[in-house]
């Protein structure tokens, strides 16, 4: 038995010999198998699903980092007066509170989406799971982007102030507070960009069905 394989096509040569005192000639059979387009599409779709799973883990790390960093940000200056104590905390500003809630929701969603991503790896032609992820990923793009943009505006004012409205920059005094909230905003924008990539991947995978 001989087998040859090229460009997704496999040919198998089978030689059958009948021994009836050496008089019967040998008989050759050739069986040819060829990979179907359905099987070939399943390979690259499984690759896209694996990449989708990796991106979701990266987005989860970024969203969790943004949530924990902002949610634990609190700085109290070492000097105070008889009536005032100078303190800055994330929950002093509604934009930062919204930021923490939005990224916490994004983190929870990403954890719940991992089993669906695994289903897409095991069954690369499953349309329902990919469509569900595409819808929720699109919603989370707007959600995380809005939270990051709102927090970024407050961070900009904290660094630079606004002389027209007499808002003074506070980062010279609350330097640790500003560094932590700035890092949280960057992490949230990274999560938003990854969500955009996830939407594009899901759309491409569904487009090729």
Which tens digits make up the pLDDT trace of 49-88?
A: 899 999 999 999 999 999 999 888 777 666 555 456 566 7
Confidence of residue 142 (pLDDT cuts 50, 70, 90): very high
Residue 95 has pLDDT above 80, yes or no: yes
Q: Lowest-confidence range among 22-36, 45-59, 96-110, 137-151?
A: 22-36
Tokens standing for residue 128: 């329902």
pLDDT at position 199 is: 94
The DSSP code for 35 is: -
Nearest alpha-carbon partner for 69 in 26, 104, 33: 104
Q: Strand locations in 72-169, DSSP E?
A: 74-80, 85-89
pLDDT of residue 129: 86
pTM of the model: 0.74
Per-residue pLDDT, averaged over 168-189, amounts to: 85
The structure tokens listed for 81 are 């007066």
Torsion of CA 190, 199, 197, 70, to 10 degrees: 10
pLDDT tens digits along 146-173: 999 999 998 888 888 777 776 777 777 7
- Helix 175-207 and helix 94-122: axis angle, to 10°? 30
pLDDT at 42: 57
């Amino acid at each position: 038995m001989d087998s040859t394989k090229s460009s997704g096509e496999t040919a198998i040569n089978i030689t059958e010999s009948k021994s009836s005192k050496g008089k019967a000639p040998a008989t050759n059979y050739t069986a040819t198998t060829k990979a179907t387009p359905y099987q070939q599409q399943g390979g690259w779709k499984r690759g896209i699903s694996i990449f989708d799973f990796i991106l979701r883990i990266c987005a989860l790390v970024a969203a969790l980092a943004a949530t924990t960093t902002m949610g634990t940000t609190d700085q109290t200056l070492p000097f105070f007066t008889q009536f005032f104590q100078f303190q800055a905390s994330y929950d002093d500003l509604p934009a930062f509170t919204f930021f923490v809630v939005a990224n916490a929701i994004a983190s929870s969603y990403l954890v719940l989406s991992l089993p669906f991503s695994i289903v897409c790896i095991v069954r690369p032609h499953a349309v329902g799971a990919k469509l569900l992820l595409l819808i929720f990923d699109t919603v989370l793009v707007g959600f995380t982007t809005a939270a990051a943009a709102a927090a970024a505006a407050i961070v900009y004012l904290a660094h630079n102030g606004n002389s027209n409205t007499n808002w003074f920059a506070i980062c010279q005094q609350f330097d640790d507070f500003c560094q932590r909230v700035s890092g949280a905003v960057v992490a949230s924008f990274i999560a938003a960009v990854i969500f955009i990539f996830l939407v594009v991947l899901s759309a491409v995978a569904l487009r090729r069905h």
